[in-house]
Amino acid sequence: MKPFPQHLLSITDLTRAQINALIDFSQPFLDLSRDDIRKASTMRGKTVINLFFENSTRTRSSFEIAGKRLSADVINISASMSAVQKGETLMDTGQTLAAMRPHVVVVRHGDSGSCHFLAKHTQGTSIVNGGDGAHEHPTQVLTDLLTLKNAWGDVKGKVITIVGDIKHSRVARSHLLAAKIMGYSVRVVAPKTLLPLHIEKMGCDVFHRFEDAIVGSDCIYMLRIQNERLKTNCSFPSIREYHEAYGLNMARFKLASDALILHPGPMNRGVEITSDVANHAQSQVLNQVENGVAMRMAILSTLCGLEAL
């Protein structure tokens, strides 16, 4: 297997063998996270900085818990409490933190390409993309792949139907790239206003009617409308009409009732998903969260060159 890269900026930084290795490496961390004492010492002496310029519940806390469970020193910085408020540039903030010699900096930023920019302009630290604008979210997709592999055994040949604001979703984009590496197929469902132009060139099947896509899906992956990235609010007539056309409700779910339901969170219940479906036994939403900690333990360990618990 090729050595792991220094940074994790895009899912395409990893080969299929490396993704499978991270999935395998996560399994003992899942067990550790279910033990009474949820602590190992493998990352003692390692420093992880969470640098978050955008809001986050899951990604930030799971990187923090992941680092702490492995005894790393974890520092959280949010833009609202940092010198960014005093006019400091992203480059200066990144170089300042890198000068403190952390092993890993996890970055979330509203601009696409910001993590690549920091990786280029800092030295001696691993940069992890914790979500950059509408571009990519590789650690979410790795978490999803762990969840799906543990449910199915293998994702190869499966059909994942992604529904909602595809245009502004970094999760959708990373899945479209991961599908080619891992051998699953992706259907996307959205109104034309929430689809990037020429998306079919990324190798997916495009649908505008939810019912047409749902039959034959192995997984239905629901997305939140990324209001913070919508330049105007005229992508659809109203939330009520959006929900009627693109919301996952029980009647639609019955068209593929063996499918797993995924959502990266945060969910807007009553908009893209109804509560009865979100709480259904096929829903993997909380498994995704649990697996997210184990996968991030595997990612941090691997980037620090540690391969065993």
Contact positions vs ligand ASP (CB under 6 A): 131, 137, 170-171, 224, 264-265
Q: Give the SS3 label for residue 90.
A: helix
CA angle 244, 245, 247 (to 5 degrees): 70
Minimal distance, residue 247 CB to ligand ASP, in Å: 15
Strands 104-109 and 47-52: parallel
- Name the amino acid, one letter, at 101: R
- Pick between residue 171 and residue 304 the one whose CB is nearest to ligand ASP: 171
Minimal distance, residue 206 CB to ligand ASP, in Å: 21
E-strand ranges in 236-275 read 260-262
- Name the amino acid, one letter, at 67: G
Instruction: Read off the DSSP letter of residue 269.
Output: B
- Pick between residue 102 and residue 264 the one whose CB is nearest to ligand ASP: 264
Minimal distance, residue 266 CB to ligand ASP, in Å: 6
CB of 47 within 8 A of CB of 101?
yes
CB of 204 within 8 A of CB of 217?
no
- Pick between residue 144 and residue 218 the one whose CB is nearest to ligand ASP: 144
- Name the amino acid, one letter, at 61: S
Torsional sign, CA 36, 144, 103, 132: negative
Minimal distance, residue 263 CB to ligand ASP, in Å: 8
| Cβ-count burial 279-302 (b if 16+ within 10 Å, e if not) | ebebbbbebbbbbbbbbbbbbbbb
- Pick between residue 98 and residue 115 the one whose CB is nearest to ligand ASP: 115
- Pick between residue 170 and residue 243 the one whose CB is nearest to ligand ASP: 170
- Pick between residue 25 and residue 247 the one whose CB is nearest to ligand ASP: 247
- Pick between residue 20 and residue 61 the one whose CB is nearest to ligand ASP: 61
Q: First vs last Cα of the chain: how many Å apart?
A: 20
Q: What is the residue-wise DSSP string for 272-306?
A: TB-HHHHTSTTB-HHHHHHHHHHHHHHHHHHHTT-
Minimal distance, residue 45 CB to ligand ASP, in Å: 30
Using CB positions, name the residue nearest to ligand ASP.
224
